[in-house]
Structure 1
Amino acid sequence: MPQERFFIAQIGRTVGLWGDLKFHLHTDFPEQFKIGATFQSSRGELTISDVNIKRGTVRFSGYEDIDSAKKLTNTKLYATKEQTKENCNLNEGEHFWFEVIGCTVKQDDEVLGIIEDIQRMADTDYLSIKTDDVLVEAGLTKNFLLPYIDRYIIKTDTEEKIVYTKDAKDILEAS
């Protein structure tokens, strides 16, 4: 069975004469992009030979001239869960999205729903929650968004797959 892959970056147009390409990150962990790192892509495996995160440029082994580098324009880079866990350092209380998606959302002892996705709007992450069937049958909406901020999130337990909340039901009822 193939491993699940996550879209982490897209390669843009060439820059300069040496095969540098614009680099558009789709991850919170730029530190994983270092010389020698290899990623799956829509064009096969690619190994970084040079990277400048501040300038937003990258170069890949075997594509060190402008003509060969042009072939990588619009290529997408992917990482597996295992690669991500190995290459990305989390601070205390931080979690990977793939660890949070699928968690049950609880307020006190009541199950509000299951996290189906996470959306980033401006600088805030929102949990996209499929409302528990019991609450839908009681007349509440089938889905709602909950800001992933201290105001609403008490604790995220990725081992137990539960996100404990406060005042989240108010948002559900207002949705």
Structure 2
Amino acid sequence: MQLVVARIGRAHGIKGEVTVEVRTDEPELRLGPGAVLRTDPASTGPLTIESGRVHSGRLLLRFEGVHDRTAAEALRNTLLIAEVDPTELPEEEDEYYDHQLIDLDVVLADGTEVGVITEISHLPSQDLFIVERPDGTELMIPFVSEIVSEIDLENQRAVITPPPGLIDDRAVIASARDAETQERDSEEAEEAGAEERDA
């Protein structure tokens, strides 16, 4: 199967290097020297990685045949696609490839539907699930054990136990408003009762 592993960003320097937005949790495997990648649009590829290095927290790649800034800039926004055996699994337990997680149903522990994972965002600090809700809005859910309690590939679902406010800030705001209203009503009732007693 085909898996998008990176998106090419802007050119870096004058010798053909480009920045890349990594979309795989195994860049050393998918984006190492010698890797041959398909591209989207297809007209720009395939591309063979000549070298790679990390600079200021960003991965820089140089491709065979791309040796100046103009050629590198022409690749901007190109998606890099690797061929992956669908039966292949990560070496570490409790690790998953992006293609295993995409399209999983996200549910709460009680089975309440939250949405569907449409993308995995790999940030320096942590990975995020990009989840599309039934109403079309998106949520970002950190892929950490404190929040994602179970990945059930057999039943194609991810079970989450989100902290207050993660799923719907509006619900939290509404609850806070309700609490304020109840408190205000209670205070007004107490004041009214005090006035009646004074009378």
Q: Give the number of the structure whose alpha-carbon radius of gyration is greater.
A: 2
Distance in 1, Cα, partners of 2:53 & 2:87? 20
Q: 1:147 aligns with which of 142, 148, 156?
A: 142
Distance in 2, Cα, partners of 1:128 & 1:25? 19
The one-character-per-residue Cα deviations of 1:105-164 (angstroms, maximum 9, x if unpaired) are 333442323324346478341442425xxxx8xxxx976554332222211122321112
- Give matches, 1:49-68, under 5 Å: 49=50, 51-55=51-55, 56-63=59-66, 65-66=67-68
Q: Secondary structure at the match of 1:113?
A: strand
What letter is aligned with 2:13? V
Give percent identity, aligned residues only. 15
Distance in 2, Cα, partners of 1:117 & 1:23? 24
Higher-helix-fraction structure: 2
1:48 is displaced (CA, Å) by 1.8
What letter is aligned with 1:26? V
Q: Return 97-106 or 121-130, whichever deviates more.
A: 121-130
Higher-strand-fraction structure: 1
How many corresponding residue pairs?
158
Q: 1:130 to 1:81 in 2, by over 3 A?
A: farther
1:103 is displaced (CA, Å) by 1.5
Gaps of 5+ in 2: 173-199
Q: 1:95 to 1:110 in 2, by over 3 A?
A: same
Aligned to 1:36: 34
The one-character-per-residue Cα deviations of 1:73-115 (angstroms, maximum 9, x if unpaired) are 24124214627986x9553212233322322233344232332
Q: Secondary structure at the match of 1:25?
A: strand
Q: TM-score with structure 1 length normalisation?
A: 0.64
